[in-house]
Amino acid sequence: MPSDAIDRAFTADRAIGSDAEPTYAGALSFMRRRYSKDVAGADAVVWGIPFDAAVSNRPGSRFGPQAIRRASAIFDVDPQYPFHLDLFENMSVVDYGDCLLDYGNHQETPGRIEREAAHILSEAGFLLSLGGDHYVTWPILKAHAAKHGPMALVQFDAHQDTWFDDDSRIDHGSFVARAVRAGIIDPTRSIQIGIRTHAPEDCGFKIIYGHELEEMRASEVASAILERTANAKTYLTFDIDCLDPAYAPGTGTPVAGGPSSAKMLSVLRQLEALDIVGADVVEVAPAYDHADITAIAGATVALHYLGLLAKRKAAAS
């Protein structure tokens, strides 16, 4: 192991390439990426949003970005499974750190998130956000729509998040309804996977319910996603409670009867043809976790997002 390959989150002089560090030591960025507020030209930027004031059950996902970064230290520098390549050999990825939010003034939160997301997107190719509760996806979607126009949404979740609000509430259960009403998301190209609760409306989304998902192969789920999105620019959001609590106990609103992490990661792996323009992982709440099970699942979902980008870049070169 190189003697100078420690604290690469701070000591790295470039956003390309990897070095080995002990998984139990060193500064913790996401997958040891260089921390920087200079993201100009980066292929992808990882950004944490430590916010959980919108939850309807257990709080704690404000600690999600820290937990996901910590769990990502187990990903060594060998070719990343299942992508058979070093993700960072030709793809520049920067960890931007976290969004600074005023815990005493939540009405300023959505604007702050949207502005910072828009700034990152103006300089970098792709934004990977680590929540935080699922409310944070709403201002992130607005920033992406300003750049890309209306998008398809692929939502892995136990909840539809289509509850009505008056556009002023800070609520993690209504971002989908808001996005559809605002014309940010095209429901005819959007799909929800793993739903195990009922909401008053479906907003025109295709839904694969938990019991249906149980009977489907991962390849069938991936095919349904690709068919529904139909080559549209697509945003992926993964609420960790999509997974059964056996695989993700550390979350605010767990629902039994969900899929395994292995199955959902297999679905993600098969989405290389999807035109993904942004993505997030939300609702990791480490206070309810055990042995980092949920944080590892969240970090691996995020790794798969970057793997899809790396494969796409390699295919284009």
User: Which strand (E) or helix (H) includes residue 177?
Assistant: helix 175-181
Tell me the pTM.
0.94
Which two tokens mark 66?
Answer: 């820290």
For residue 149, is it within any domain?
yes
Domain count, the chain: 1
- In this structure, is residue 210 part of a structural domain? yes
168-215 pLDDT, tens per residue?
787 777 899 999 999 999 999 999 999 999 998 899 999 999 999 999
Say if 1 falls within a structural domain.
Answer: no
pLDDT digits (tens, 9 = 90+) for 62-104: 999 999 999 999 987 778 999 998 999 999 999 999 999 989 8
Give the span between the Cα atoms of 156 and 169, in whole angstroms. Answer: 23
Both structure tokens of 232: 């549209």
In a domain, 224, yes or no: yes
Structural domain of residue 172, as residue ranges?
Answer: 8-316
Q: How many CB atoms lie within 10 A of CB 63?
A: 20
How far CA 220 is from CA of 62, 122, 227, 248, in Å, comes to 34, 36, 10, 23
Q: Is residue 2 included in any domain, yes or no?
A: no
Query: Is 125 among the domain residues?
Result: yes
> What is the model's pLDDT at position 56?
87
Q: What is the pLDDT of residues 251-310, one digit of tens each?
A: 999 999 999 999 999 999 999 999 999 999 999 999 999 999 999 999 999 999 999 999
Q: What is the mean pLDDT of the chain?
A: 93
Given a contact cutoff of 8 angstroms between Cβ atoms, the answer to whether 57 and 158 are in contact is no
pLDDT of the residue at 20: 76
Residue 277 to residue 236: CA distance in whole angstroms: 8
Query: Across residues 224-228, what is the average pLDDT?
Result: 98
CATH code of the domain in which 290 resides? 3.40.800.10
